[in-house]
Structures are given as structure tokens and as C-alpha cells.
């Protein structure tokens, strides 16, 4: 930029600052869904070669200094030759047309051409947004594209919440949007069109949660832009498919919601990989990844995995590809595939009601695959565990099945087809009929006043008296209240935030000082029918977070057709009441915050209501601006745990009662007693809901005839009051259908009472068992991760079925009366392909007594372990009067010199142990001080992997990571860890370890009676049935191939053998037509039933 142009920029900025006219209503060239209210309006420079970035930055900075709001860039072309930072609480908004991007606000970017590693052109601070803009690189050309840095990236800052990009077009970016790898939360990417020549969106290091909604990544965005320099369609498509281009790349994101994502024409459409700080769990709905080389690639996920519902995948190389490193669970429900659909890893992939007719499905021996009630084409499956249940045998071509594996094929349909879960397309978001603007400061409101209730009410009443109502705007700042307000019909009360925002970012904050202790008092804000709230934050300065006290509802709707959008409620006792009065036609979009007793209540609606993108989390009450008024002494860092505990015990998060058509999408909450509750006569459709740390993550207490359909739920029951992920209460009489669910942590997957029906259709659970105490339970195509005995139990009054459900590492255990509960084709034991120990021992046991294998003394395990900031470390067998058995135990002790992070891994044994599928590690553990509870046994395997890094848990569901506290002080506790997931591998080092980031000081603990051993001999794992399942003629004899030393009991009715089941002596004959499921159990050396169950499925003709 020349000196003359710099002077012009400074002059214009100064003039603009001097003539600020206050908030203004803007009439853009193109229609919008809301009234545009701008703190600043910027127009394009007259000289087209002028860098407009300084103009925009100056306006952004001024707006940030005034407390936040929107900078509106009018339609026209803005040359961007330098970088821009979108400040906290500020939205840069343009005039937007998706159909004619060049006719709106066009940002013509020339900054950092050829410098791919330069900082992003636009950095967004927390609470900031970019809305309604078109990003264009006028000098970008094919076939020789020029690299540029990211167009947009999050700024690096603490409490990095809420970066939003919405209603934008990226015509020809090199790399469009990046979030991470620095820590971040709560990104929102909504209604975007992107053509990127390298990467469309990249996400990493995101915690609860991120949202991608209605995003398209495709060459058509550039080809149909109408802007100069558009390449030929063939040149662009050749580049995107030839080069290593990626539509969306996700590293770590805890809880990513992906809805209506479309990627077309990229080498790789959607990729999940390991990130800088871990991996992802995600759900995806109504998305299309087509025309790509590899439509969806999964390299790594966390064990919760990925669930996709109503999606389409098509690729010339792969429609879906689990790479050799894929070891988690992926679930597809009601999806369509065209192309090779391959599991090349050791993970589990399940399909339910999917169209695989034009797919070529493959699975390598280490993987597992189920397909239930799917249209099948070609399938080549060498997997160790396969279920193909319900398909057209005349059209399917199935090859490569492993006769020695846990394989069952049955063409008849297994489940009745249900109606899809539908969010639909809601009507346009409500807004006042009139564009009249009323600014509260013109009525006497001020952050300096002790009570702004009268001033606000005067502005609201004025707007209510205006024909068509209007918008009452509240500039950024903190406004104290000691009285309530009512929003009249046709009026919207609106703050300065145009995008989702967090308490930490300030903005328009309404401080509620009155009605403390009056739970049943009048609400602070009452919404008359047909009125709404947008862009405001509520805060209770006198609410003690350590011991919260009652207040009335923050917001209550008094009638129908009320709305809330981008509203944050920081620390309410009760947040939003849409239940006291009929609230038909309500719209809630991005309601966020922390509540103590009640969150969002909806009830009595006879017409459709819409709720989307709810975000409840205790950090809205604890992650605060330094100067936000609060109870003395309660700093942001010292109350989070107390808030979580209180919410787990008391909070009813989202409650739907007596609603005829409730629609929920993308809702999430962290910490509650009841996360999501349905009561009374409900009809509801729920697409993508998450409860994290709910005592009852989802709970049902419905009347007969009520029905709730849910897809893509993620449910975590955790804490001192935890019951289960899914709970039906004794009074429940309704029907709940959950499709493609994920559950983890806590004591139980489900506890079901009442006489209603629950259908779990495809799920992955890493938590405890399912208990059906009454009613009807239908379980189809599920996956259990944990060793449980049993996985499912049915009490006498309960009825139901369990079909095609897996325990990842062995037989699914169902405890039920088979007269009332049907079990069919569930997982059995599977023999890994590399199960040959050779000369390697299969067990190791020592009580550390003389004559038993001796522990190595004071030797740090350099491979697979190591030492960091621990002094005076000691490890070895010592004589103890309190040994668990005998006279000796191993003592581990030392001093942590760094409370932030220290560890030591001491070698106990360096002798190989071959791991069988039923190998179990057991040891006794006694912590001698509190820090000693953060110690444990770790294992190093021959392939370099360790037990602690595997995600394994013990039989009580506690992580095997040594730093996780376990046991009771000065008491012996037995730790039992199944090692079947490592079958075929060899343990090379056994270690005693201390590893913590929350320690400091001395640690000391004892270990005794360590044993690593299988239940069965290697010979028992070579048992097999001949023929190995399939279609056979009536009268076929079934022979059990085994060594003479192996004894086996068997059944012919699909139940696991018991102690009184017949022992195999000679071949048996299949005499009746129909389906016969044979199960066999080898006996241990002492004649007891083992835990392993093998079997096969026969169709007797």
C-alpha cells in the first residue's frame, strides 16, 4: 500500500469514528431471514486497488471496544491485501446471495499469495463470526494453481469458544476453513458453499462440541460463480480428483455433529484421522459424499466411533474405507453405497437397512462386519466375525467366508421396517413483520443504571404499539435489572450477538438482581405470543455457584409462536419455560448456558415445535470475563466441579411433556440428573442428541400410545447419581425407538421398567449391561465393548428379542427365559487367525514368594515406559506382614517432583507371554497413600503397543491407565483385565507404574498375586463344526472336530450351553426343517463350563 493510500485509510477511519450514528437497521440488496442491525457500516473503497482490510479492521476494532456487535460490509468488491482479525464478540457481515455470489459482498483476496504457511487471512476470536460473505481469489488459475494460507482460522486464545462461519461462499480458496490444532470448542459452520483446491474444512482439538450444518464442498461453487477466471469444468474436476484434495478433514473432535454435508468431486471427501490431541467421535445425518475418489476414509476414531444415518457414499476408489489403522466402530443406518466399501482394519463396521446393492463390500480377517436387513450386492468377507442377516439371496454374491470364524448368514428378514426419523424443513425463522428499530438507550437504558426494567419496558411497549411490531435492540454492555419485563406480540428483544456466543465473550448482558429465593415467582422475561429473543446473555450476579439458590424462570412464553435464537443463559436456576402455557409453533435455535434445576421445558403443544442446536454446559457459569460481577470469592476455576455435582443431582435438562409433534435436532448438554426426558402423551422426532454426564441420560415416562423416535443419540451416564444411559420408569407405557446410538461410561446401558416398548436398533455401547425389568425390549445389531456377565438380562415380566448383536471379543451373554425372549445370531467366540503360540508360554503367575518368578528390582522400563520427574523411585519384592498372601509383595514407591506431569514405569518381568482370546490379567493392589491410588500394572507388547494406550478397561469399567485412581486406601482390591483384544500378540514386559498430571509428592503402593493366563488350552480353540453352517439337507450329521482331550457341551436351540447340556460324544443329526443355531462350549480342565461359546447357523431344507 502506498503512503497516499494509507493516509486515505486513516482519514476514512477517523471520519467514521467521529460520525458514528449508533446502531442502524440495514436494508441489504438481497433478502435476509432477520433484520440486519449494524454498529458500523462499511462501503467498498472507491479505488478498486485499495486494500480494504484496514477499513474493515478499524470498524471491527471500534465495534469490539463498544462491547461487540455487527460490522456490515455493504455489497461490492473489497480487495483484501492484508490480514484481518475478527475480534471477540464481533460479527463481520455482508450482503449475501448464494445464487449470485459476485453481486453481494465480495472479498477479493490477494494477501500472502504463494505463502501457504502464512497466518490465515481472517482470524476469528472467540464469540466472533463471519456471515454473509463471498471469498474470492482473483489471481487463482488452473492448471497451475497457486497456494495460499487458510482463508479462515480460529485465533489462538484461552477459553476459545464459539467461532462461527455462516451463509458464506468460498469460490476458489486453496484451503478454506481451519479450526485447531490449538484448543477450541463450539465451532459452528452453517450454510456454506466451498470450492477449495486443496482442503475445504479441517478440524482438530475440538472439545464439546462442533457443528457442521448444510455445507457443500464441490467444484460447482467455482464453476457457477459467474466471476472472472472460471476454469473449464474438466480442468477443475481433473485437478480435484488427481491431487490429494480433501473436502473435510477431522482430527480430534469430541462430539462432532455433521448434518447435510455434501462433498462432490474430491479425491477424498471426508477423512477421519488421528489429531494432535487424540481422535474423534461423531455422528452424521442426511449427508452425501459422492463423485469422489474415496468418499469417506476412516484412519482413526476413538472407541465411541462414527454413526451415520440416511447418508449416501459413492466413490470410484472407495465409497467407504476403513484403513488398516482403523480399530474402532462405525455404524451405518439407512445409508446408500456405490463402490468398494472396505474394512481393511481391525475395527467393527455395521450396516442396518442400508442399500449395498451397487457396493462391493470387503472385510479383512482382522475386522468384523454385520449387515442386517440390507440390499446386498457383492460381498467378499474374510473377517473373523460376520453377520449377514436379512437380504435377497438371489441378488447377493457372497464369497470368502472364513469357515473357522464366527460367521452366520441368514437371508430371511430379521426386523420389521420402521418409519425414518425425520427433522424435516421448518418454516422460515420468525421475525417481526415490521423492520422498525427501537434502541433501548434512546429510552433511558444504560449500563450505569441500577435498574433498567422501566427503560426496557418503555422501548418494548413502544415497539408493541407500532403496526407490525419491531425490534428492540440492546447495544453491548451490562444492564442491571431489579424488575421483570414483558416482550409484546410482534416484538423481538435483541442483543448485539449475531452468532452463537459464550458467557466469557460478554456482549449484551442482562444482570438479574431480584427474586432470589422465589422459585415460583414471576419470570424475568415473559414472551407474549408471537414474540422472541435473539443475541442476548442473561447473568445472575448474586447466584452462589457453590451452593445455588432458587430463582424464577428466566424466560417464559405466554402463548404460541415464540422464538429464541442465539440466546445464552449463564447461571439460571430455571432457564426457559415453554410448558406453563401452550407454545405451539415455538422455535428455539442455539439456546446455550448453564442451569441448576431446570433447563428447557416444553409442554402441552398441539402443533409442531422446533428445537435445534441447544448447548448446555457448566462452563457457561464458570468460564467468565474477569470483571463480570459474581458472588465474592468465586473465581472461574474454583467452582466447576461443584456446579457439575449439583447438576448431576438436581438438573432436569430438556423436558418434553404432552407434545403432539416435537422436533429436536443437534441438542447437547453436559451434567444433569435427567438429560433429556419425555413425559406424558408425547410424539417426538429427535435427530442427533447428546447427554454427557447425565445421571439418567435419556428417560421416558410416557402414556400408552405415546411414541418417541430418536436417531444418532450419544448418551453418557456418569457421576455419583448415575443410573443408566437409557431409563424407562415404572409408569412408562409408551414406545421409544433409538436408532444408531452410542453409549459410554457409567454403570449401565439401559435400565427398563414399566410396560412400554423400547427398540434399540443398531448401537455401540462401551458401558455396562442392559437390564429389562419389565415391558418389551427389542435389540438388533448392537455392539458391546465391555466384558459383562451378562450383557443383557430380562427379568420374568419382560419380553423381547436380541438379534445379531455382538460383543467385540467373544460371546454375547443374554440372561433370559427363552420362552419369552428370542435370541438369534448373536456373537460367539472367534478364533484369531494368528493363534499359534509355538514355544511361547501362555501364562505367567507369581505371588513373589521364594521359588516363584521373581520381580526385577529397581529397573526403569526404557522401552514402552520411561521416567519423568520422579525421584527416589523404588520397585521390588519386599517382606510384608500385610502381604495379600504369603510373606512377600511388590512395593512401588517414589516422589513426584512435578505435580503437572510425572511418571515412572518400573520393570516387573521381562519374559514373553502369548495372549490367547481368553487371557486375563489379574492382580491384587493396595495403595499405601492417596497418591498410591494412581498406580497400576501396565503391559508392553511385541508390536510396541501398551495396555495403557489401548483404551482397555477392567471388569469394573475403570480405565487401565495407571494414573486413574483405583482401590481404597490401605485395602486390598483385585483388578481383573480381559486381554482378548490383544489375542495373537505377545507380552514382552510387565511394568508397575505411576503416571499422573495431577499429583505431586510421595506415592506408595503394593502389588501381589499377579497372574496372566488363559482359561482354556490352545487345543480348545481349534474346535470346529463340520459342516460349518449354511444350507444343509434334513438328516445331515454335524460332527465336532476336536482333539480327544477337549470336552465340549452343546445345544441346538441357539442358547449358550449350561452345565446340564449334553456333552458331545458322537455326531448328531439335524432332523427338523428350519433354522438351527448350534452352540458349543469347551470345558476347562476341571470339567467346568468355560466362558467361550462357538457355533454355527444351519438352514435345514
Q: What is the CATH number of the domain that holds 530?
A: 2.160.20.10
446 and 480: one domain?
yes
The x, y and z cell numbers of residue 1038, run together, are: 454335524
Predicted confidence at residue 981, as pLDDT, reads 85
- Residue 598, domain member (yes or no): yes
Q: Give CA torsion, residues 261, 265, 268, 271, to 10 deg.
A: 0
Return the bridge partners of 921, or none.
977, 1012
- Residue 425, domain member (yes or no): no
Give yes or no for a cis peptide into 209 (omega within 30° of 0): yes
75 and 153: one domain?
yes
Give yes or no for a cis peptide into 665 (omega within 30° of 0): no
Radius of gyration, alpha carbons of the chain = 31
Residues of the chain with pLDDT below 50 are 1-18
- Residue 287, domain member (yes or no): no
DSSP 739-759: EEEEE-SSS-SEEE-SS-EEE
Give yes or no for a cis peptide into 143 (omega within 30° of 0): yes
Q: How many CB atoms lie within 10 A of CB 14?
A: 11
Predicted confidence at residue 833, as pLDDT, reads 64
Strands 920-927 and 973-978: antiparallel
Residue found by looking up cell 440488496 in the block: 29
633 and 708: one domain?
no
477 and 332: one domain?
no
Predicted confidence at residue 917, as pLDDT, reads 87
User: What Cα–Cα distance (Å) separates residue 1063 from each residue in 114, 1025, 1047, 1054, 1066?
Assistant: 75, 14, 7, 16, 9
Give yes or no for a cis peptide into 190 (omega within 30° of 0): no
- Residue 291, domain member (yes or no): no
- Residue 797, domain member (yes or no): yes
Instruction: Give 415: exposed, middle or buried? Use CB within 10 Å, 0-12, 13-18, 19+.
Output: buried
8 and 48: one domain?
yes
Q: Report the C-alpha gap between 723 and 727 in whole angstroms.
A: 8
Whether the Cβ atoms of residue 172 and residue 195 lie closer than 8 Å to each other: yes
390 and 495: one domain?
no
Q: Tell me, what CATH number does 1079's domain have? A: 2.60.40.10
Number of domains composing the chain: 6
Q: Report the C-alpha gap between 693 and 725 in whole angstroms.
A: 9
602 and 672: one domain?
no
Domain end marker among 969, 991, 1013: 1013
Predicted confidence at residue 638, as pLDDT, reads 53
Predicted confidence at residue 351, as pLDDT, reads 98
Predicted confidence at residue 2, as pLDDT, reads 34
User: 3-state class of 100 per DSSP?
Assistant: coil
Instruction: Give 1101: exposed, middle or buried? Use CB within 10 Å, 0-12, 13-18, 19+.
Output: exposed
For residue 194, give its domain range. 1-282
User: What Cα–Cα distance (Å) separates residue 297 from each residue in 228, 250, 289, 342, 945?
Assistant: 34, 11, 11, 10, 24
The x, y and z cell numbers of residue 957, run together, are: 469399567
Q: Tell me, what CATH number does 943's domain have? A: 2.60.120.260
724 and 594: one domain?
no
Q: What's the angle, vertex CA 28, arms to CA 26 and CA 31, rounded to 5?
A: 120
Amino acid at each position: 500500500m502506498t503512503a497516499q493510500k494509507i493516509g486515505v485509510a486513516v482519514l476514512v477511519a477517523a471520519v467514521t469514528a467521529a460520525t458514528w450514528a449508533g446502531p442502524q437497521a440495514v436494508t441489504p440488496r438481497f433478502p435476509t431471514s432477520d433484520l440486519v442491525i449494524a454498529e458500523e457500516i462499511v462501503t467498498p473503497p472507491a479505488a478498486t486497488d485499495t486494500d480494504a482490510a484496514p477499513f474493515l479492521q478499524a470498524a471491527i476494532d471500534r465495534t469490539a471496544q463498544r462491547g461487540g456487535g455487527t460490522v456490515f460490509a455493504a455489497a461490492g468488491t473489497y480487495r483484501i491485501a492484508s490480514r484481518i482479525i475478527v475480534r471477540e464478540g464481533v460479527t463481520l457481515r455482508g450482503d449475501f446471495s448464494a445464487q449470485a455470489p459476485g453481486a453481494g459482498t465480495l472479498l477479493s483476496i490477494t494477501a500472502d499469495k504463494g505463502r501457504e504457511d502464512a497466518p490465515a487471512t481472517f482470524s476469528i476470536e472467540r464469540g466472533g463470526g463471519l456471515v454473509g460473505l463471498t471469498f474470492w481469489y482473483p489471481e487463482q488459475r488452473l492448471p497451475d494453481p497457486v497456494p495460499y494460507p487458510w482463508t479462515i482460522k480460529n485465533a489462538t486464545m484461552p477459553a476459545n469458544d464459539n467461532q462461527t462461519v455462516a451463509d458464506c461462499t468460498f469460490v476458489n480458496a486453496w484451503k478454506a476453513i481451519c479450526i485447531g490444532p490449538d484448543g477450541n470448542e463450539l465451532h459452528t459452520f452453517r450454510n456454506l458453499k466451498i470450492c477449495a483446491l486443496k482442503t475445504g474444512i479441517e478440524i482438530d482439538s475440538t472439545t464439546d462440541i462442533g457443528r457442521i450444518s448444510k455445507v457443500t464442498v464441490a467444484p460447482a461453487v467455482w464453476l457457477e460463480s459467474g466471476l472472472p477466471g472460471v476454469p473449464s469444468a474438466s480442468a477443475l474436476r481433473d485437478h480435484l480428483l488427481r491431487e490429494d484434495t480433501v473436502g473435510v478433514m477431522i482430527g480430534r473432535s469430541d462430539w462432532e455433529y455433521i448434518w447435510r454435508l455434501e462433498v462432490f468431486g474430491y479425491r477424498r471427501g471426508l477423512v477421519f484421522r488421528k489429531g494432535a490431541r487424540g481422535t474423534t467421535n461423531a455422528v452424521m445425518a442426511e449427508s452425501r459424499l459422492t463423485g469422489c475418489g474415496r468418499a469417506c476414509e476412516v484412519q482413526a476414531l476413538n472407541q465411541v466411533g462414527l454413526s451415520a444415518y440416511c447418508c449416501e457414499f459413492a466413490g470410484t476408489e472407495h465409497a467407504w474405507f476403513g484403513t488398516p489403522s482403523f480399530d474402532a466402530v462405525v455404524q451405518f443406518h439407512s445409508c446408500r453405497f456405490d463402490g468398494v466399501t472396505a474394512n481393511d482394519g481391525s475395527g467393527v463396521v455395521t450396516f442396518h437397512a442400508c442399500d449395498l446393492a451397487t457396493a462391493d463390500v470387503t472385510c479383512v480377517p482382522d475386522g468384523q462386519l454385520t449387515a442386517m436387513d440390507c440390499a446386498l450386492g457383492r460381498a467378499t468377507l474374510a473377517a473373523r466375525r460376520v453377520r449377514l442377516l436379512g437380504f435377497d439371496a438371489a441378488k447377493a454374491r457372497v464369497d470368502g467366508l472364513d469357515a473357522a470364524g464366527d460367521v452366520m448368514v441368514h437371508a430371511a428378514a430379521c426386523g420389521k421396517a420402521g418409519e425414518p426419523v425425520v427433522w424435516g424443513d421448518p418454516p422460515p425463522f420468525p421475525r417481526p413483520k415490521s423492520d422498525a428499530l427501537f434502541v433501548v438507550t434512546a429510552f433511558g437504558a444504560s449500563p450505569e443504571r441500577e435498574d433498567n426494567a422501566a427503560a426496557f419496558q418503555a422501548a418494548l411497549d413502544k415497539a408493541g404499539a407500532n403496526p407490525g411490531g419491531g425490534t428492540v435492540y440492546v447495544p453491548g454492555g451490562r444492564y442491571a435489572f431489579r424488575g421483570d419485563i414483558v416482550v409484546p406480540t410482534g416484538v423481538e428483544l435483541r442483543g448485539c450477538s449475531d452468532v452463537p456466543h459464550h458467557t466469557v465473550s460478554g456482549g449484551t448482558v442482562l444482570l438479574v438482581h431480584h427474586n432470589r429465593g422465589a422459585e415460583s415467582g414471576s419470570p424475568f422475561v415473559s414472551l407474549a405470543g408471537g414474540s422472541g429473543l435473539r443475541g442476548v446473555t442473561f447473568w445472575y450476579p448474586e447466584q452462589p455457584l457453590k451452593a445455588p439458590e432458587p430463582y424464577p424462570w428466566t424466560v417464559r412464553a405466554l402463548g404460541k409462536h415464540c422464538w429464541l435464537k442465539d440466546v445464552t443463559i449463564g447461571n439460571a436456576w430455571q432457564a426457559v419455560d415453554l410448558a406453563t402455557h401452550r407454545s405451539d409453533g415455538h422455535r428455539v435455535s442455539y439456546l446455550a448456558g448453564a442451569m441448576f434445576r431446570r433447563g428447557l421445558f416444553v409442554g402441552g403443544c398441539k402443533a409442531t415445535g422446533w428445537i435445534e442446536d441447544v448447548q448446555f454446559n457448566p462452563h457457561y457459569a464458570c468460564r467468565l470475563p474477569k470483571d463480570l460481577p459474581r458472588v465474592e470469592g468465586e473465581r472461574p476455576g474454583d467452582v466447576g466441579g461443584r456446579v457439575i455435582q449439583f447438576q448431576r443431582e438436581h438438573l432436569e435438562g430438556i423436558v418434553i411433556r404432552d407434545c403432539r409433534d416435537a422436533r429436536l435436532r443437534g441438542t447437547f448438554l453436559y451434567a444433569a440428573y435427567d438429560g433429556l426426558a419425555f413425559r406424558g402423551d408425547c410424539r417426538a422426532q429427535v435427530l442427533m442428541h447428546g447427554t454427557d454426564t447425565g445421571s439418567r441420560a435419556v428417560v421416558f415416562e410416557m402414556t400408552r400410545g405415546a411414541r418417541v423416535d430418536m436417531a444418532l443419540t450419544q448418551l453418557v451416564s456418569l457421576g455419583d447419581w448415575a443410573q443408566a444411559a437409557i431409563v424407562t420408569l415404572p409408569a412408562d407405557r409408551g414406545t421409544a425407538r433409538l436408532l444408531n446410538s452410542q453409549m459410554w461410561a457409567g454403570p449401565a446401558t439401559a435400565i427398563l421398567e414399566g410396560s412400554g416398548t423400547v427398540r434399540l436398533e443398531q448401537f455401540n455401547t462401551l458401558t455396562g449391561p442392559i437390564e429389562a425389568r419389565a415391558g418389551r425390549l427389542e435389540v438388533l445389531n448392537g455392539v458391546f465393548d465391555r466384558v459383562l456377565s451378562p450383557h443383557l438380562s430380562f427379568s420374568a415380566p419382560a419380553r423381547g428379542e436380541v438379534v445379531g448383536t455382538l460383543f467385540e471379543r467373544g460371546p454375547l451373554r443374554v440372561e433370559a427365559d427363552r420362552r419369552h425372549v428370542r435370541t438369534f445370531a448373536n456373537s460367539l467366540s472367534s478364533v484369531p487367525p494368528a493363534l499359534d503360540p509355538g514355544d511361547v508360554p501362555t501364562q505367567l503367575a507369581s505371588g513373589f514368594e521364594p521359588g516363584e518368578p521373581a520381580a526385577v528390582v529397581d529397573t526403569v522400563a526404557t522401552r514402552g515406559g520411561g521416567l519423568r520427574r520422579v525421584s527416589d523411585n523404588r520397585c521390588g519384592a519386599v517382606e510384608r506382614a500385610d502381604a495379600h498372601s504369603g510373606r512377600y509383595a511388590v512395593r512401588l514407591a517414589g516422589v513426584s517432583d512435578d505435580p503437572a506431569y510425572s511418571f515412572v514405569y518400573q520393570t516387573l518381568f521381562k519374559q514373553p507371554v502369548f495372549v490367547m482370546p481368553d487371557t486375563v490379567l489379574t492382580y491384587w493392589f493396595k495403595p499405601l497413600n492417596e497418591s498410591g491410588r494412581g498406580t497400576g500394572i501396565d503391559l508392553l507388547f511385541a508390536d510396541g503397543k501398551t495396555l495403557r494406550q489401548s483404551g482397555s478397561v477392567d471388569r469394573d469399567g475403570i480405565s487401565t491407565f495407571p494414573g486413574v485412581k483405583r482401590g481404597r486406601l490401605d485395602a486390598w482390591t483385585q483388578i481383573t483385565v480381559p486381554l482378548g483384544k490383544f489375542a495373537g500378540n505377545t507380552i514382552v514386559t510387565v511394568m508397575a507404574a505411576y503416571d499422573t498430571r495431577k499429583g505431586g509428592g510421595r506415592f506408595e503402593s503394593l502389588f501381589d498375586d499377579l497372574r496372566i493366563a488363559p482359561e482354556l488350552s490352545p487345543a480348545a480353540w481349534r474346535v470346529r463344526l463340520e459342516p460349518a453352517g449354511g444350507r444343509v439337507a434334513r438328516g445331515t450329521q454335524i460332527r465336532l472336530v476336536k482333539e480327544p482331550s477337549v470336552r465340549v457341551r452343546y445345544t441346538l436351540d441357539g442358547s449358550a450351553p449350561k452345565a446340564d447340556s449334553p456333552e458331545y460324544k458322537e455326531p448328531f443329526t439335524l432332523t427338523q426343517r428350519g433354522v438351527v443355531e448350534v452352540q458349543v462350549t469347551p470345558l476347562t480342565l476341571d470339567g467346568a463350563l468355560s466362558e467361550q461359546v462357538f457355533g454355527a447357523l444351519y438352514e435345514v431344507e
